[in-house]
Amino acid sequence: MKSKLILLVEDNPDDVKLTLKAFERSRLANEVEVASDGVEAIDFLFGTGKHASRDLSIMPELVLLDLKMPRMDGLEVLRRIRSDERTKMLPVVVLTSSLEDKDRVESYRLGTNSYVRKPVDFHQFVDAVLQLGLYWMVLNETA
């Protein structure tokens, strides 16, 4: 059985490495596609740009979405995901370092499934990724 695909949308290379390391330490063997900004995430999801030849029948089971990114921020990505029939039911977890209440409120208004602040401590971060992975990739039943 093929592992469930996770789309990680994160512009900070250190946070990408940290997240991938946390998945590895948590023994979550899911395939992870990394989009370095919102434009790349949209291209991946909808088969445009450098992902124009991508097989759109293989969609992620989960999107881990940062908010503060260049070119297109996470809120706009979320808005586009929720406005398209192909992706509107896709589970999206905002995984951000933002402490701003307006980001949390707007994320939920736009339809995020969960809003998680990135812990600064590596061990807490690994634990958070483990909990996210177990819930969204093992326990949760998608639409």
Averaged pLDDT score across all residues of the chain: 89
- Give the pLDDT confidence score for residue 134 in this predicted structure: 75
The answer to whether residue 65 sits within a structural domain is yes
Assess if residue 131 is contained within a domain: yes
Domain for residue 63, yes or no? yes
Q: Which long-range contacts link 10-18 to residues 24+ away (Cβ below 8 Å)?
A: 10/34, 10/35, 10/36, 10/64, 10/66, 10/69, 10/95, 11/36, 11/37, 11/66, 11/68, 11/69, 11/70, 12/66, 15/66, 15/118, 18/122, 18/125
Q: Which of 113, 111, 104, 110 is nearest to 132 (CA)?
A: 113
Which structural domain, as residue segments, surrounds residue 23? Answer: 6-139
**Which residue reads 């469930």 in tokens?**
4
**CB–CB of 80/122 below 8 Å?**
no
Q: What would the pLDDT profile of 50-99 be if each residue is shown by its tens digit?
A: 999 999 999 999 999 999 998 999 999 999 999 999 999 999 999 998 88
Domains in the chain: how many in total? Answer: 1
Classify residue 1: in a domain, yes or no: no
pLDDT in tens, 39-48: 999 999 999 9
Q: Residue 110's domain is classified under what CATH number?
A: 3.40.50.2300
The whole-number pLDDT of residue 123 equals 81
Give the pLDDT of residue 94. 95
Q: Is residue 128 part of a domain?
A: yes
Torsion of CA 104, 105, 110, 114, to 10 degrees: 50
In this predicted structure, the answer to whether residue 26 has a pLDDT above a threshold of 80 is no
Residues 104-130 have pLDDT tens digits of 999 999 999 999 988 778 788 878 877
User: For the whole prediction, is pTM greater than 0.85?
Assistant: yes
- The residue with greater pLDDT, 64 or 2, is 64
